[in-house]
Structure 1
Amino acid sequence: MRRGWDGPDAALVALLGLALALRLAAAFALPNIVHPDEIFQTLEPAHRLWTGWGLVTWEWRAGIRSWLFPGFLAGMMTGLGALGASWPVVLGAIVVVLAIVSLAVVAVGYRVGRETFGPRGALIVGWLCAVWPDLVYFAPKTLTEVVAAHTLIVATWLANAPALAPVRGGQARGYVGLGLLLGLTFCLRFHLAPALLIVAIWACRMDVRRRWLPVVAGGLAVLAVSGALDWLTLGSPSQSIWKNIAINLFEGRSQDFGVSHAGAYVVWMSTAWGPAAWLVLIAFVFGARSAPLFALVAGSIWLVHSAIPHKEVRFLFPATPCIIIVAGVGCARLLEWWGKTWPFPRSRAATAGVLAVWTAAAASAATGPDYRGMWVGRAPELAAEAALRNAGDLCGVALAGLNWFDTGGYTHLHRPVFLYLYDQPYDERPDKRRLGDAEFSSFNYLIAPPDIARPPGYAQLGCEGEVCVYRRPGGCTPSERDEANRAIEALDP
């Protein structure tokens, strides 16, 4: 390790600019949903807190979700709304803010590369962090796993002695800051507790008074705020943590959504990254010695989540920044060894070649079968809701042949109208689906697949992919079934 933070330089600024451009271009050019939780566990509650209307999932009814992150999002909505910003601008601002926060991975990667293998190492690791598809794709996602990953990566870097040295200054403020980051990460994603403990032990060692006490104080301060927030909003201190654990551990609620074998993450990541996965693995092995803490954090997250029966790719994301940073360090280490053993090609040419290889690997993964589907996931549903948002005669919307959790909810509809859910029994003809005995007068717009049996009086306005918008003339006639059929109640398990 050479030295700690001494301010940005031109290369770092350029890499941050490149990373931000990639993240914003992907987010705005290809709006998508990777998982329902990015809507219904964060944005939708925030939208409901601000406007008073939104869908309520079972997790919020059970009181196992914290208002910490949704409260932050609601604060942004409120502030921008007070300034007169339109709803698309508000959603866009959230994307921009989260994309900027994600640049912490690039900055940390650059610093780790510089601290281990100088300017060339900084360029290689920073470049890889800027262009790797997982880090680009997930950056603006309103998922607590993603935000926790970004706070964790800063804490992991700060835990290294060279990083702490400049802020230590004979005082404990550096360790208090580390504790605050660890506490915040825990409140966002308590499943990362083993990794957080590893970071704390690495930073504090056996120094109780000067290190452990300020770290613990910082962590407890965040836990106290989060616990008090749960108490005020849910009914008991830290309820979003202990009740979440109780429901999923003793009632097995998470397993109702599927279970996978212990090696599922290996299969999923190798499939998503394709041949590039081998490049990452080899580089990671060579880089673990030079960036051991990052390797330990990544390994602990991988092992803990592999042992949990219910698995989702997003759960593993907090390990991804560490994996990519270690892989970049490993590549820089191999390049340094190559330069000592084989003087040709020259250093700059070799570095350019390495960057080109990693860029090709990232592009290969980003355009593979898995990512091709992720870049456009649920885009038709979002487009349909965006179109209805501007419909002046809208007085009610029904979803037919679609899952409510595959839509953008009221967050993307952003209109205070009833949103209906109906069971859609199959018609006798296997290629046609119908609405059943719905009262069509309660709504005047319908979002449904193109092969649905057309309701009386409804005309198809347009389709995108497998999602179409239908409309009938006239207004809506409320019925006694409104309260029973509207989605805000139908979501109750």
Structure 2
Amino acid sequence: MERIRERLKNKSTSAETVKLRKRRSKLYDKHAGAKQEEFLGINIYVFSVAFRLVNCFFVQTSFVPDEYWQSLEVSHRMVFNYGYLTWEWVEGIRGYSYPLVFAVLYKVLHIFNYDVPQLLVWLPRVLQALLAAYTDVKLYMIVRNLENPDVAKLTYFCQLCSWFTWYCCTRTLTNTTETMLTVLALYYYPLPGSKTHNSSKYLTLVALAVIVRPTALIVWLPLLAFHFWRDNSKLRLILHHALPIVALSLGLTTIIDSLFHGQWVLVHWNFLKLNVLHNVSEFYGSHPWHWYFTQGFLVVLGPHLLFFLHGCSLAPKRHRVLLFTIAWTLIVYSLLAHKEFRFIYPILPICIIFCGTSLANLTTWRRAAVFFLVVANLLPALYTGLVHQRGTLDVMGHLQDLCDPATSNSSQPQVLFLMPCHSTPFYSHVHCPVSMRFLECPPDLAGDGSVEDEADDFYFEPLAWLRRTYPLQESLPSHLVFFNVLEKEISTFLEANAFTKQTEIFHAHVPEGRVGETIFIYTRQI
């Protein structure tokens, strides 16, 4: 009996030891897993920052005028008290909150006497690159919280190799910041299965996105409605989260805008009234209703399109709200006459999630798919970032020499841009109060024909416009900047007034309309 008791005691002790070892092993595995996740997270952060900084300096082309005229030009005027504001700022349909970010950066540079053109141009871009890197990581974490690590890693890969993201994410466009804030808000949004839900944080980020660009509300309307429908404490959601955030953000932006506009102004209402109710945006061009479905969306997704469609067919039910958001955004923007690729940029990261799902399910063809995505995105990314439409930026580098009396041929240089309005940046890329003028083209808001479109008047009869505007040689500018397609039409004016070609700058291989392949700088020989 004693031996039996001893054996039972030994077995019991042995079983407890095994359990203890298993418990320790689980704790160790859990601790090791947490350490591994933390290490992986740090690596992704570091790699993302390095990748987007390279991205930043490999984008040396111009996309649309708004990346300067709705940000850097405004910031430059706010800090240095000279520059030009477009009609949107005069009419009060643009807010100063976004340019204020770059204005703070400019002010710091000015205080420490480092406000040179190169830093004024590139530091805002570097700031955008850092925000883009943070956004890449957050997109990875969104999918990591919803799916397995394999899907998260492949989504991260798809995000990094997207040519349109490469092309846009480091630009100082309001659409770029709107897209980044949308992704950051999605991280805290209560997606089915998400572990990082925080109503206050995601609503604050949504409010910031709307402040930067009011149309951000288009993307968020179905998501906000879905959250409200699923939330069990709707009254608390409205009273404790939504209303305080809306009131605070609206109050702060109204104060900021009113201070800089010099009068009480509600920018978001003015924006809605002019762009939607009065359809002023159509003045800048219109497209057929199906343009986003037949061209815009296809170009923005690019080589990712097939994987997006495949991922949609595999998407679980909990992701239907994201699919509905994509479809809703495309439909709403299709109802507006004026359409641009950048308008639907905020839904691209959402589409990338489905691309990651697709790659995760392509077990046999995954390597081939990865290789295809890298090669197919690399060519358009490098071409659009380094080659296409770079002349309008390069020309400003040449004009910087006019700020230095030692290198300038004229004691009081005057530059006239004979190009479609807002083709180039302005004082933010020259940074000296040299006299510059371009052809203006504000819309006729009153509708009575009282507003003159200088660009249309000039291109209708270029020679007649020049002779009428500059009847005396004393009033002539010292420098003319124009696309090569205009040279023949104004050649007699150039010869009669002793203008000679100083510089020829490449712009684009496939020019359109009034835009040429190269840009000329002509200097008057006095």
Q: After TM superposition, is the score higher than 0.5?
A: yes
- Equivalent residues, number: 445
Displacement, 1:26? 4.0
CA 1:210–1:434 in 2, change beyond 3 Å: closer, same or farther?
A: closer
- Equivalent position amino acid for 1:315 in 2: F
Query: Does the 8 Å CA contact 1:15/1:126 hold for their aligned counterparts?
Result: no
Indicate the residue corresponding to 1:416 in structure 2.
433
Indicate the residue corresponding to 2:479 in structure 1.
445
CA 1:298–1:215 in 2, change beyond 3 Å: closer, same or farther?
A: farther
Question: How far apart, in 1, do the equivalents of 2:35 and 2:357 lie?
Answer: 20
Aligned residue among 445, 464, 472 for 2:505:
464
Displacement, 1:289? 3.9
Indicate the residue corresponding to 2:467 in structure 1.
436
CA 1:356–1:154 in 2, change beyond 3 Å: closer, same or farther?
A: same
- Equivalent position amino acid for 1:359 in 2: V
Displacement, 1:12? 4.3
Question: How far apart, in 1, do the equivalents of 2:68 and 2:393 lie?
Answer: 11
Displacement, 1:318? 0.9
Indicate the residue corresponding to 1:380 in structure 2.
391
> Aligned ranges for residues 63-82 of structure 1 at < 5 Å?
63-82=92-111
Specify the structure having the higher radius of gyration (Cα): 2
Q: 14-23 vs 395-404, which deviates more? A: 14-23
Structure 2 unaligned regions, length at least 5: 1-33, 440-453, 507-517
Query: Does the 8 Å CA contact 1:288/1:295 hold for their aligned counterparts?
Result: no
Q: 140-149 vs 249-258, which deviates more? A: 249-258
Question: How far apart, in 1, do the equivalents of 2:39 and 2:464 lie?
Answer: 59
Deviations 1:116-160 (A, max 9, x none): 432211210111111211111111221212111111111112113
Query: Does the 8 Å CA contact 2:59/2:167 hold for their aligned counterparts?
Result: no
Indicate the residue corresponding to 1:208 in structure 2.
234
Residue 185 in structure 1 maps to residue 209 in structure 2: yes
Query: Does the 8 Å CA contact 1:155/1:199 hold for their aligned counterparts?
Result: no
Query: Does the 8 Å CA contact 2:391/2:505 hold for their aligned counterparts?
Result: yes
- Equivalent position amino acid for 1:462 in 2: T
CA 1:329–1:19 in 2, change beyond 3 Å: closer, same or farther?
A: same
CA 1:72–1:433 in 2, change beyond 3 Å: closer, same or farther?
A: same
Match of 1:471, SS state, is strand
CA 1:208–1:389 in 2, change beyond 3 Å: closer, same or farther?
A: same
Question: How far apart, in 1, do the equivalents of 2:413 and 2:58 lie?
Answer: 29
Structure 1 unaligned regions, length at least 5: 169-173, 339-344, 475-493
Aligned residue among 422, 428, 434 for 1:405:
422
Match of 1:206, SS state, is coil
CA 1:440–1:297 in 2, change beyond 3 Å: closer, same or farther?
A: farther
Deviations 1:189-242 (A, max 9, x none): 222324323333444523235544333123332222112223333366662111
Indicate the residue corresponding to 2:86 in structure 1.
57
Indicate the residue corresponding to 2:400 in structure 1.
389
Residue 356 in structure 1 maps to residue 366 in structure 2: no
Query: Does the 8 Å CA contact 1:463/1:469 hold for their aligned counterparts?
Result: yes
Identity %: 20
Q: TM-score, normalising length from structure 2?
A: 0.75
Displacement, 1:56? 1.9
> Aligned ranges for residues 113-192 of structure 1 at < 5 Å?
113-160=143-190, 165=195, 174-192=198-216
Aligned residue among 246, 258, 277 for 1:219:
246
Indicate the residue corresponding to 1:479 in structure 2.
none
Question: How far apart, in 1, do the equivalents of 2:218 and 2:297 lie?
Answer: 22
Q: TM-score, normalising length from structure 1?
A: 0.80
Question: How far apart, in 2, do the equivalents of 1:121 and 1:426 lie?
Answer: 53
Give the superposed CA RMSD: 3.2
Displacement, 1:260? 1.7
Question: How far apart, in 1, do the equivalents of 2:500 and 2:416 lie?
Answer: 15
